[in-house]
Structure formats: C-alpha cells, structure tokens
Structure 1
Amino acid sequence: MKTSRIAAAAAVAGSAVLVLSSPAFAHVSVQPEGAAVKGGYAVVDFKVPNERDDASTTKLEVTFPTEHPLASVMPEPISGWTVKVTKSKLAKPAEMHGETITEAVTKVTWTATGKGVEPGYFQKFPVSVGMLPTDADQLVFKALQTYSDKDVVRWIEVQKDGEEEPENPAPTLTLTSASASGATAEDASDKTETTASDSTSSSADSSDTTARVLGVVGIAVGAAGVAYGVLAGRRRTTV
C-alpha cells in the first residue's frame, strides 16, 4: 500500500515537472545558418515548435526591429505557406552604409494554406537579412504564433540582464563581430596540424609493423637455412 502511494506521488511529481518545463522547449526562436556577422548578410531561421496537442500552428507574424532597420529582407518560399512582407516608413530616417533609409521591412507574415505545423512537429522559416547593424550585439524579433483554434501566443517579452527568462521570450538573434572569423581560421589550422600529426603517427606505426614482419621473415629464412645445412651434413656422413 505504501509502495503504491510512493509510486503515485512520484508519477504526479514527474508530470508536474514535464508540465512546468515543457514551455522552455517550445519557444519560437531565431538562429543564424552559420554566423550573423555585424555589417554583413545572413540567413536566419525562425523555428516554430507546436506546443499544443490539440491544435496546429497556422500563422506566424514576426516584427522586425525599427531601431536597427534592415534594408534587405527576403523570405525563402515554403511549401504549404504563403508569405507577406510588410514595409513601413521609419519614424526617423536611418543612415546605412552611406545611404539614407526612409522605409524598411517591419513585419513578415506566414500563413498556412494547409494543416500548418501539426502537434508533435516544428517548422523553420528561413529569411535572408542584411546588412546587419555594426552598433548592436543582438536583434530582437517579436513574434505572434496563431493556432487553428484561434488562440494566439505572443512571444514579445524581452530578456533583461540579471533576470530570469520571461514566460514568453521574444526571439533574439545574437550578432558576432567580424574578428570572430579569425577563430575559424585558427580552428582550421589546428585541425590541419592534428590531421598531419595523425598521418605521421600512422606512417610511423606502418613502418614499425613492416619492420617486424621483415624481421620475422628473416628469422624464418635463417632457420630454414640452418635446417638445410644440418640435413646436408648428415647426408655426407652417411655416404
């Protein structure tokens, strides 16, 4: 009886942990394909998991930051979805690479033409963006996720330094400096040196193995010669 109660309590506790922790894995997020380098272009993926088990995600609206406007925003076509790019005039013109920008993309909306993102699945929405700002370390994209039952989840809360992650965090893209590319070159160099070292070690092992084989063959040939000499001596004695 006691064992059954303990098992039931454990099951309830386990379910509570799953319920409480599941939202942490169901955020709408944004990640670059490679690196999002300041002052350059990048392809970023808005990843949309379906956090419901009784409805599909049928619409995604992503708001682009106006404090750091992006002159170029080009979504990749996705089967089963239509896409709409919205441009708006900026409240204050921005200077970008020697040019004055008076309008920029402020929203991209994807709408499902079929079932959308069904329960248990996720969808990536790739977008080519640029040029990325040089005076910011990250870009915040607020997003609205609409379900087939008309429920809307607003991923719009900005993460604040030193505070816990909000319940509905906005997708945030981390930007890297151009100098970070040097680390890639160093990594490649280290990899080349490691490969060369492995090759040398392999060559040395091969040479050592060959020497051993030749040594064994030499001993065998020598033994055969001694045996032949002994037999020949016996024949002479008999004659």
Structure 2
Amino acid sequence: MRSLVTRRTATAAALAATALLATAAPAFAHVTVQPGTAAQGGYTAVAFRVPDESDTASTTKLEVTLPADHPVASVATEPIPGWTATAEKTKLATPIKTDDGDEITEAVSKVTWTADAGTKIAPGQFQDFRISLGPLPTDTDKVVFKALQTYDDGNVVRWIDEAAAGQPEPQHPAPTLTLTKAAADGDAHHPDAAPTTAAAESTSDTAARVLGIAGIVVGIIGGALGVLGLRRRTGDRS
C-alpha cells in the first residue's frame, strides 16, 4: 500500500513541476528587446533577441517595424556576419526638429534582416539583432516594435500583440522598450551612451526569474518527499 501511495505522490509532484516549467517557459521564448529599458530623449543601442521555437524549421528572416506615431530620427544597424540588413524609410507627416534647428522629413520605419545562403537560426538557438537609435521620444513611456519572424518552412510568426494593463500576456507579444525619465546629468542624451545599467537590470531580472522557478520546483519536490517520509513513519509506528 505504501508503495502505491509513494508512486502516486511522486507522480503528482512531477506533474506539478512539469506544469510549472511549461507555464514559465514561454516567457523566455518570445522575441524581446534587450535591454528592456532606456531613457526618454536619449540615444541607446538595443538588440532584438530572436529564439527559434520550432522543432524542425530554422529562422531565416526578421522584420521589425518602428512606430510611426513616435518616429526616431537616427537608426543604424550593427553588421552581423551571414545576415543582410535593409532599412525602409517613410516620409513623416510632421517633420522632426533637431537640436541644431534642422528638420528631418523622413525616418526609418522598418528594418529587415535576411539570412544569407547557409545562414540560419537553428532550433534551440537564438540570435541578437542590434540597432542604435535616438533620440527616443519624450511623450510616451514605451516604444512598441512589431516584429515578423520567418521560418524556412514558410511559417511566419507575428510578434505584434500589445499587452493590456491588468490582462494576461498575449500569446505573441510585440517587443516593447520601456522608457524612463532622462538622467539629470544628461548622459542619456549622448549618442555613445551605453545602457549598462538597464542591461544589468534585464540580466538580473532574467536570472531572478530562473532562480525563482527553480526554487518553486525544488519546493514542490521537497514537500512531496516530506509527505512520503511522514506517511512512512506513521506506517512504521502502526
């Protein structure tokens, strides 16, 4: 009898741990912006982190659309071996005025990275696509980048859903850059300013998430083992 109870309890613990990990896994599989925060009005460099979620197909193209309602005057891509980046520009309804008094009448509206022959993001791999941009808008607390991920089997995943306050995270959330108030010393406005603090916060947040999930799983298994031990002692006394 004790053997049957032991098997059932162990099975329940394993199922609970598996369900927990399955629930947490999607948070690490989305197309995201790294780091996830930057200063309003400043210049920064961010990477669109693209994991390959397919078991059989590889990623061969990424398209990222910049928001038309909050255009950015300067956008530059970082060269990636094996990938070709192209930028599309759109004429602005309202020109952007620079600090020098000039007007910018068009801005980058989309960046597309296409894999060269023999290059791909294989299943179980990821790739960072890095851009430099600025100045960031000062009249919003976030910049939403809608992205399309194309696989070599023809499947296209549309990372375009915006999260709503108080609602569960959508299945395919759009990469979102959270904007904070600019630093008082003005460093955030320098084109070469590096987002080291934001990057560290992003890394810490990811690490904390992983450790938290691992701790919960260990706690579930430990609780199950504790129950087994208690039942075994109770059975021995009887």
Q: TM-score range by the shorter chain?
A: 0.5 to 0.7
- The residue that corresponds to 1:150 in the other structure is 154
Bigger mean CA offset, 93-102 vs 145-154: 93-102
Counting aligned pairs with the same residue, the percent is 58
Q: Distance in 2 between matches of 1:157 and 1:18?
A: 23
RMSD over aligned Cα, in angstroms? 2.5
- Structure 2 distance, partners of 1:12, 1:54, is 26
Aligned counterpart, 1:27: 30
Maintained 8 Å contact 1:23/1:51: no
Structure 1, unaligned stretches of length 5 or more?
185-239
Structure whose residues are more often helix by fraction:
1
CA contact (8 A) 1:93 1:100 kept: no
Deviation at 1:80, TM superposition (A): 1.4
Residues 105 and 56 (structure 1), Cα distance of their counterparts in 2 relative to 1, 3 Å cut? same
CA distance in 2, matches of 1:172, 1:75: 18
Deviation at residue 87 of structure 1 after TM alignment = 0.9
Shift of 1:13: 4.2
Counterpart of 2:38 in 1: which secondary structure? coil
TM-score, with length taken from structure 2: 0.67
- C-alpha deviation, 1:11, in angstroms: 3.9
Q: CA deviation at 1:122?
A: 1.4
Give the partner amino acid of 1:37. Answer: A
Between the aligned partners of 1:5 and 1:181, the Cα distance in structure 2 is 61
In structure 2, the partner of 1:122 is 126
User: Structure 1 length normalisation: TM-score?
Assistant: 0.67
Does residue 49 (structure 1) correspond to residue 54 (structure 2)? The answer is no
List runs of 5+ in structure 2 lacking aligned partners.
189-238
Question: Residues 149 and 19 of structure 1: is their aligned pair in 2 closer, same or farther, counting only changes over 3 Å?
Answer: farther
Instruction: Give the aligned partner of residue 200 of structure 2.
Output: none
Distance 1:180 1:19 in 2: 43
* Aligned residue number for residue 66 of structure 1: 68
**Shift of the alpha carbon at 1:41?**
1.3
Q: Which of the pair has the greater relative contact order for Cα pairs under 8 Å at 6+ separation? A: 2
Matches within 5 A, 1:69-108: 69-90=71-92, 92-97=93-98, 98-108=101-111
Between the aligned partners of 2:54 and 2:185, the Cα distance in structure 1 is 40
Change (3 A) 1:25 1:32: closer
Counterpart Cα distance in 1 of 2:141 and 2:184: 13
- How far off is 1:147 after superposition? 1.6
Shift of 1:10: 4.2
Amino acid paired to 2:58: S
Q: CA deviation at 1:6?
A: 4.2
Q: Which residue of 2 aligns with 1:179?
A: 183
CA shift, 1:127, in A, is 0.2
State which structure, 1 or 2, has the greater radius of gyration over its C-alpha atoms: 1
Contact 1:32–1:42 (8 Å) recurs in 2: no
What is the total number of aligned residue pairs between the two structures? 182
Greater CA deviation, 134-143 or 111-120?
111-120
